[in-house]
Structure 1
Amino acid sequence: MQGKWADISENLKKMLDSGIFKVWIAPLRASIEGAELRLTVPSAYMAEWLKRHLLAKFREAAAPVLAVAPEAVRVRLEVAEGAPGRHAAGGSASAGELVASVVPGLGRRARAEAATQIPLPQAARPLAASTRFPTVGWRHSFEDFIIGPSNSMAVAAARDICRQGGQVHTLFVAGASGLGKTHLTQSAGQAISGEGTDLRIAYLTAEEFASRFVQALKSQDLEGFKSRLRDLDVLLLEDVHFFQRKKAMQELALAVIKSLQDRGGRVILTSSFAPRELRDMDPQLVSHFCSGILTSIGRPDREMRGRILTQKARSFQVLLPDEVRDLLASRLHGDVRQLESCLNSLIFKARLLNCGLNVDLAMEVVGQYAGIEQGLDMESIIRLVCESYGLSEAQLRSRSRRQECVQGRNTVFYLVRKHTELSLEDIGSAFNRRHSTVLRSITAVERELARETRLGRQIARAVSLIERSAGCGVPPQA
C-alpha cells in the first residue's frame, strides 16, 4: 500500500511546483483500499485547501497507479485527531503563518514560495507602494528558467547583474522570438527588485518607451519624463531594434543609458538582432549597447527540450509520462513557444477525450508541429508565401507597394530569418533590398504579431499555415 502511495506521490511531484508539494503533499499520510485514496491531513485548514484546489490532481495522479480511470478514484480527506482547526474558517492569519502551522519545520524560502500559492482575503493583500514607474507584476523567475548550452552564458550574466557588487552592469541579449529573452529579463527584474524597495526600476519594451515619450510630449511633461528616466537605478529595455530610424528616441535612450552607466546603475537590453546588425542606429548608442556583456540565446537541444516540457507540464499541473516527454523532445525542434503550444494542444485533446497523456495521442498531435525546421528554406518559404497570399514570385520580388505584396514580402523576410541561418544581407540580396529594409520589415511583422492587431492576426494565420504545411507535407485543415 505504501508503495502505491509512493508512486502516486512521485506523479504529484511531477505535476506540482516544488513549494506546493513540500507544503501540501509531503505531510500527508495515506491508506488505499481498492480505488479509494484516504488521506490524513495535519489541520482542518489544510483539508479545506486540498479539497478546493487539488482533488482533481489526486485523481489524475492515482489513476495510472490504481489502474482505473481518474473519475473512478475516490479521495477522502480526514483531519488528524487533535489537529489545529483555528484556520479552517479563514481567519486573518498571513499566508506565511498558515504555511508554518501546517509544516512548522519548513525553511523560510520554501514557506515564502508556498505562501504565494494561498489566496488571501482582499483585506490582507498589501497595497502596492507608489513608484515613479508602475510596479511590475513579474511573471517569471530564475527558478523556472531552464538552463542549457544555448543560454548558459546569458543566464550567468543575468544572475551576475542581479548581485550587489557584481561584475556585469550592462547586458545585451540577442535571440530570435520565443527563446526566452523576456523570461530572462523578467527573472532578473524580480531578483533585483527583491534587494530592496528603494531601488527605482523600469521595465519597458522599446515601443512602450516610445509611447511614453509621445505622451510626455503631448502633456508638455517631457523634462519630467526625462528626469524620471535619468533617476533610475535599473533599466530593463526589450526589443531595442524598434528604435531604428527614430532619432529622437535614440537620443533619449542614449542619454538615459549613459546616465545609468555613469552612476553605476544596471541595464539589460534585448533584441531580435545583434548590435552589429542595427545599422540605422546612432553609432554612439550601439557603442553603449556593446559596452558590457554581449550574448545570445539559441534554440534548445533535445535534453533541454525535455526539461522544458517537464517544467511546463508541472506549471500546468498535469502528469507528463516520460515516454511522451521523450517523444515530444525528439520530434520538436523549434522554440519554447512551439513546445508549449504542442503540450497545450495535447492536454486539451486529452481532456476532450477524457484520457491521460499517452504516446498514441502525442503522435497525433505532434504531427502538426514536427519537421518544420527541416522543410523550410528560402525557396520553399517564397513558394508557400506566394500560395498563401495569392501572389506570383515576380510580384513578391517587385517594387510594388500594394498591401498584399508588402505583406507577403515582410512575411518572407520574417520566416527566412526565423527558420534559416541566412543573414539580413543575404535575405536583402535575394530581393534586391537593403539590409535596413529587411530589418524594418521583420520589426514591423513582430510588432503586429505582438499587438495582435487585425493585420497581426492575418499574418499569424498565414505563418501558422505555412509552418504546418512545411511540417506535415500536406495542406493543413481550414
Structure 2
Amino acid sequence: MSITAQSVWNNCLNFIKDNIQPQAYKTWFEPIVAVKLQENALSIQVPSKFFYEWLEEHYVKILKVSLTKELGENAKLVYIIKMENTYGNKQPFTEKIPSSNRTPVKAQDVDIPLDNKSPELKNPFVIPGIRNVKIESQLNPNYSFENFLEGDSNRLARSAGLAVAAKPGGTSFNPLLVFGGVGLGKTHLAHAIGVDIKDKYPEKTVLYISAEKFTQQYIDSVKKNNRNDFIHFYQIIDVLIIDDVQFLSGKSGTQDVFFHIFNHLHQNGKQVILTSDKAPVDMQDIEQRLLSRFKWGLSAELQHPDFETRVSILKNKLYRDGVEMPDDIVDYVAKNIKTNVRELEGAIISLIAQSSFNKKEITIDLAKQIVEKFVKNTKREVSIDYIQKIVSDYFQMDVETLQSKTRKRHIVQARQLAMFFAKKMTKASLASIGSQIGKRDHATVLHACKTVDNLSSTDKQFRKYVEDITKKLSV
C-alpha cells in the first residue's frame, strides 16, 4: 500500500489522540490538514501563526515521537500557515522538528514577520511592550449581585448569572446572552457576574468591553497591521463580557474576527457573556453562523419590573444611601414610574436632592411635584432631534447619514420611519418635519408616512422595526 501524507498523518493522529485530553485534541489537532509527503518530510496546514506557536510550545514532543514512529529518525515536519493579513500574504514558512538540544531555525526567505522568537501578546488596555502586565478587567465593583434585586422580571437572567459566576465555562449557559430594553439592568448584571467571578477565581482573566470599543480596537488593529495581535489578546481571556453586542450589526469584518475568537474561547472552556437590546432572532445584519453561536447557550430576557420589584429597588437604593423615606412615598414613586430602573432611581435621587437642597420635608406633595416634573421632562425629550437619534442608533448609522440624499434602501427606510414618528409623536407641521429631517418638503413627509403605514401592514420585518422603535421612544 502506498504511503500518502494523509495516511501518515492519520497514524500520527491515532497516537496523539491516545495521549492527550479529548478537548485538546479537538481544538489543536482536528483543524490540521495534511498537505503533502516528500521523502521524510510531512507538510501540514495550520490556521494561523498563533496555532503554530501553540503546537510548538505545548505539543512538539508528541509530534516528534509520533512522526518519528512513521518516518524514522530523520523525519521532518513542515508547517504551512494559511494566514490572513491585510496584505493578503498567504506564503507558507517551513519549520523542522527541533532536536531536544537545539531551538528551531526559521526559514529566512519568507515575508511573514517572525522577528521575535516568542511574540508578545498585545494588551489593548495598556502601553504595548510591557511584559506580563496584568489585564485590567474594566469592571465596575459597584455593580454587584447584592444590589441587583431579584423579581419575576429578571429571575431567570439573575439565576443564570449566579450559576455562571459559580462555575465559569462549566455550565450549559455558554454563551450567556442577556437581552432587554434600555435601563433594565443588562450592563449591571454583566458586571455583577464578572465581579463575582473575580472574587471567587482571582487567577482568572476577566474582561468587560462594549461592542463599540471592541469594534474600534479591531479597526485600529487592521490599520496598524497587527490584526493577529488583536486576536491573540482576546484568545487568552478566561471570561469575556461584551456589552451591546447588537452594535456588531452590519460590521462584517468585526463579526468575522469575533466569530473566530468566540470559537477559540468556547472550545477551550472559556466563558462568554453577551448583552443585547434584542433577542438573537430579532438581530438584523448579523451573520447566521454568529447568531447560531449566540443560541448555543442561554438567552435570558430582562423585562420591565413589576410594582413589588420597583418598590424593592427603591428601598434598596435608599438603604444604600442611608436615607429614610415613608413607605407611602416610595409606593407613590413606584406606581407612577414604570418604565425602567434607571428612571426609577433617577426620580428618587431628584426627590432626595430637592428635599436636601431646599430643606423641605419629604412629603407626598413634594413626591407628586417631582414625579410630575420628571415624567414631563422625560416626555419632552421626544423631539424631532431625539427621534432622529433613536432611529439612527437603531439602524447603526449616524444622523448625518439618515438625513443625506442617498437612495440606499435601508437609509431611505430609516429616514421614512423618522418622519413617520415625528408626525405621530410631535405637534410639528409636515413642512417643519421635512425641513429638520434632511431639508425635504411636506410632500416627501406625507409620502413617507403612507409608505410606513403600507409596509407595516404587509412586511413582517418592517412591522418589527416600527414596534422596536415605538418601544424605544416610549421609554
Aligned-pair CA distance for 1:433: 11
Cα distance in 2 for residues equivalent to 1:403 and 1:256: 44
Number of the residue aligned with 1:146: 149
Aligned with 2:146: secondary structure?
helix
Number of the residue aligned with 1:339: 344
1:402 aligns with 2:407: no
1:429 aligns with 2:456: yes
Number of the residue aligned with 2:194: 189
Letter of the 1:149 counterpart: D
1:136 aligns with 2:139: yes
Aligned to 1:367, which of 363, 372, 376?
Answer: 372
Aligned to 1:320, which of 316, 325, 343?
Answer: 325
Aligned counterparts, 1:162-201, within 5 A? 162-164=165-167, 165-201=170-206
Number of the residue aligned with 1:254: 259
Is the Cα–Cα contact under 8 Å of residues 137 and 206 in structure 2 kept in the other structure?
no
1:392 aligns with 2:419: no
Aligned with 2:200: secondary structure?
coil
Number of the residue aligned with 1:240: 245
Change (3 A) 1:223 1:428: farther
Aligned counterparts, 1:7-406, within 5 A? 130-133=133-136, 135-164=138-167, 165-369=170-374, 382-383=422-423, 385-387=425-427, 390-392=428-430, 402=438
Cα distance in 1 for residues equivalent to 2:243 and 2:439: 29
Is the Cα–Cα contact under 8 Å of residues 184 and 303 in structure 2 kept in the other structure?
yes
Change (3 A) 1:144 1:226: same
Aligned-pair CA distance for 1:192: 0.8
Change (3 A) 1:321 1:296: same
Is the Cα–Cα contact under 8 Å of residues 386 and 393 in structure 1 kept in the other structure?
no
Number of the residue aligned with 1:14: none
Aligned-pair CA distance for 1:394: 10
Aligned-pair CA distance for 1:344: 1.6
Cα distance in 1 for residues equivalent to 2:144 and 2:288: 33
Cα distance in 2 for residues equivalent to 1:427 and 1:360: 47
The alignment-based identity, stated in percent, is 26
Cα deviation, 1:351-389, whole Å, max 9, x if unaligned, reads 23202322121111112345989xx9x9996446443xx
Cα distance in 1 for residues equivalent to 2:197 and 2:139: 12
Cα distance in 2 for residues equivalent to 1:403 and 1:249: 34
Letter of the 2:146 counterpart: E
Number of the residue aligned with 2:59: none
Change (3 A) 1:393 1:265: farther
Cα distance in 2 for residues equivalent to 1:178 and 1:322: 24
Letter of the 1:402 counterpart: G
Change (3 A) 1:317 1:404: farther
Aligned length: 296
Aligned with 1:304: secondary structure?
helix
Cα distance in 2 for residues equivalent to 1:335 and 1:395: 29
Cα distance in 2 for residues equivalent to 1:366 and 1:401: 32
Cα distance in 2 for residues equivalent to 1:177 and 1:393: 32
Change (3 A) 1:231 1:432: same
Aligned-pair CA distance for 1:174: 1.1
Cα distance in 2 for residues equivalent to 1:188 and 1:322: 31
Number of the residue aligned with 1:119: none
Aligned with 2:194: secondary structure?
helix
Aligned-pair CA distance for 1:287: 0.3
Change (3 A) 1:307 1:426: farther
Cα distance in 1 for residues equivalent to 2:214 and 2:251: 12
Change (3 A) 1:381 1:135: closer
Cα distance in 2 for residues equivalent to 1:433 and 1:404: 28
Cα distance in 1 for residues equivalent to 2:454 and 2:161: 32
Q: Alpha carbon RMSD of aligned pairs, Å? A: 3.9
Aligned-pair CA distance for 1:154: 0.3
Aligned-pair CA distance for 1:200: 1.6
Task: Compare the two structures and name the one with the higher helix fraction.
Answer: 1
Gaps of 5+ in 2: 1-131, 383-416
Letter of the 2:290 counterpart: L
Is the Cα–Cα contact under 8 Å of residues 132 and 228 in structure 1 kept in the other structure?
no
Is the Cα–Cα contact under 8 Å of residues 137 and 205 in structure 2 kept in the other structure?
no
Cα distance in 2 for residues equivalent to 1:193 and 1:280: 34
Letter of the 1:157 counterpart: A
Is the Cα–Cα contact under 8 Å of residues 138 and 189 in structure 1 kept in the other structure?
no
Aligned-pair CA distance for 1:279: 3.0
Aligned-pair CA distance for 1:219: 2.9
Letter of the 2:193 counterpart: A
Is the Cα–Cα contact under 8 Å of residues 280 and 291 in structure 2 kept in the other structure?
yes
**RCO higher in 1 or 2 (8 Å CA, sep ≥ 6)?**
1
Cα distance in 1 for residues equivalent to 2:156 and 2:337: 24
Change (3 A) 1:432 1:284: closer
